[in-house]
Amino acid sequence: MGAQTYHLLKPREFPNLLSIVVTAYNEEEGIPFLRKRLSAFVDTLPCPTEIIIVNDGSSDGSLAPLMEWVDADSRVRILNLARNFGHQAAATAGLDQAAGDAVVLMDADLQDPPEVIAAMLEKYREGYDVVYGRRMSRAAETVFKRVSAWAFYRLMRLLIHPDLPADVGDFRLVSRACLDALLAMRETHRFLRGMVAWVGFPQTDVPFARDIRVAGETKYPLSKMLRLAWTAAISFSATPLRISFAVGLLIAGVGMLEAVNAVVRSVLGLPVVAGWSSVIVVTCLIGGSILISIGVLGEYVGRIFEAIKDRPLYIVASNVTRQDPSALPPVHHAAEVSKQLAALGRVHAMRPAVTAESVHAGTVRGGS
């Protein structure tokens, strides 16, 4: 890890508004648990809070309990995306909509306990602009899952950024200043953890024990974690290109050593074993390294192609909030409308009728 930048911390008060951004995809079974626990926690906070739930194109019945929640709580807003754009795009959508002085990003599965936000707020008051939750333990996870997660975060630090914290997901609090800097980065292929590490600002962690899922299945199996790692490595670093270059140098070095060995053995009159096996092995090694290098280069070219299209990161289908009754237009009932029409009719009946003769007489009097 590189040398840490020194920052002068300035203590501050609680934020005037705290935004909690929650990403959800196919969480129909877990939404009721999230609503109960998050609402109860928000009620204890000493600062005003808004809850922005990003429905990332769920294909189950997640929308129904979300609509019930927003109808019952004016602090809640639902952002429905037009389709499933992926976790990082959904998180960006919520961050774009957040209006708070401090913003918390979390998932809907409750593996990241909302109660940890209280400790994050205390670090925020100390002057830190980024407070991330560091996972100290993982409840009910297999050994393979823990080992693969451990390897994932260390590999990300090697490929992406030396200051990328280990054992840290997207569960974190960021200040408005840090969020504005983060949202200025509109690259297509996003890895928010690396982007937050890149922008800097004073950062610290809050350790916590990660809970088990309250309901449903994980949305990040091994295959998806590998895709995230590959996306992060390709979109955030040139290290894969450097690795392919190093592999090419290594294979070239092996070929040169074999050539020198053959020449020396010929000069000394030692027997040189001729055979197709060595030729095939060397050919496969060289051909394989070339194809791998071209494939890595193609990944970068493909991502450049996608980036220059300049498509939006996400598309919002609807933004749902509970209507304030005082802000709604007045409701006119049918009986009241009938009374108003009857009164208007009586007013018209009391007015003198306008005929052609009266108009002509008025014209004559005006002209005389």
- Answer yes or no: do 276 and 127 share one domain: no
211 confidence band (pLDDT: 50, 70, 90): confident
- Answer yes or no: do 158 and 289 share one domain: no
- Answer yes or no: do 146 and 275 share one domain: no
CB atoms within 10 A of CB 26: 19
Higher pLDDT, 203 or 259: 203
Q: Which of these three, 287, 308, 329, is where a domain ends?
A: 308
- Answer yes or no: do 271 and 147 share one domain: no
* 100: its two tokens: 């708070």
- Answer yes or no: do 44 and 192 share one domain: yes
Q: What is the mean pLDDT of residues 126-150?
A: 77
Q: How far apart are CA 51 and CA 103, in angstroms?
A: 10
CATH number at residue 48: 3.90.550.10
In the predicted structure, residue 185 carries a pLDDT above the cut 80: yes
Question: In the chain, which ranges are E strands?
Answer: 18-24, 49-55, 76-81, 102-107, 130-138, 168-175, 203-210, 316-321
Structural domain includes residue 355: no
- Answer yes or no: do 114 and 140 share one domain: yes
Q: What is the mean pLDDT of residues 91-113?
A: 91
In the predicted structure, residue 124 carries a pLDDT above the cut 90: yes
Which tens digit of pLDDT belongs to each residue from 230-255?
Answer: 776 666 766 777 777 777 777 777 76
Q: What is the mean pLDDT of residues 321-327?
A: 56
Q: What is the mean pLDDT of residues 355-366?
A: 45
- The pLDDT value recorded for residue 365 is 44
What letter does residue 167 receive in the DSSP assignment?
A: T
Structural domain includes residue 186: yes
Dihedral pair phi/psi, residue 239, rounded to 5°: -60, -45
Mean pLDDT of the chain: 77
Dihedral pair phi/psi, residue 242, rounded to 5°: -70, -35
- Decide: residue 64, CB within 10 A, 0-12 exposed, 13-18 middle, 19+ buried: exposed
Rounded percentage of the chain residues whose pLDDT exceeds 70: 72
Which tens digit of pLDDT belongs to each residue from 42-62?
Answer: 999 999 999 999 999 888 888
Structural domain includes residue 43: yes
Residues 48 and 16 sit within 8 Å (Cβ to Cβ): yes
Structural domain includes residue 92: yes
In the predicted structure, residue 160 carries a pLDDT above the cut 80: no
CB atoms within 10 A of CB 292: 15
327 confidence band (pLDDT: 50, 70, 90): very low
- The pLDDT value recorded for residue 347 is 52
> SS in 3 state form for 243-280?
HHHHHHHHHHHHHHHHHHHHHHHHHCCCCCCCCHHHHH
- Answer yes or no: do 210 and 135 share one domain: yes
- Answer yes or no: do 194 and 304 share one domain: no
Structural domain includes residue 285: yes
In the predicted structure, residue 354 carries a pLDDT above the cut 50: no
- Answer yes or no: do 191 and 278 share one domain: no
Number of domains in the chain: 2
- Answer yes or no: do 103 and 226 share one domain: yes
- The pLDDT value recorded for residue 193 is 83
Structural domain includes residue 231: yes
Structural domain includes residue 336: no
pTM of the model: 0.68
- The pLDDT value recorded for residue 150 is 72
In the predicted structure, residue 138 carries a pLDDT above the cut 70: no
Q: Which of these three, 275, 308, 341, is where a domain ends?
A: 308
In the predicted structure, residue 123 carries a pLDDT above the cut 80: yes
Structural domain includes residue 10: no
Question: In whole angstroms, how far apart are CA 72 and each of 35, 66, 213?
Answer: 11, 10, 25
- Answer yes or no: do 218 and 267 share one domain: no
Q: What is the mean pLDDT of residues 127-153?
A: 76
Q: Which of these three, 202, 236, 270, is where a domain ends?
A: 236
Strand-pairing partners, residue 282, are none
- Answer yes or no: do 141 and 249 share one domain: no
Instruction: Print the domain residue range for 115.
Output: 18-236
Which tens digit of pLDDT belongs to each residue from 269-322?
Answer: 776 666 655 676 677 677 777 777 777 777 777 777 777 777 888 898 888 887
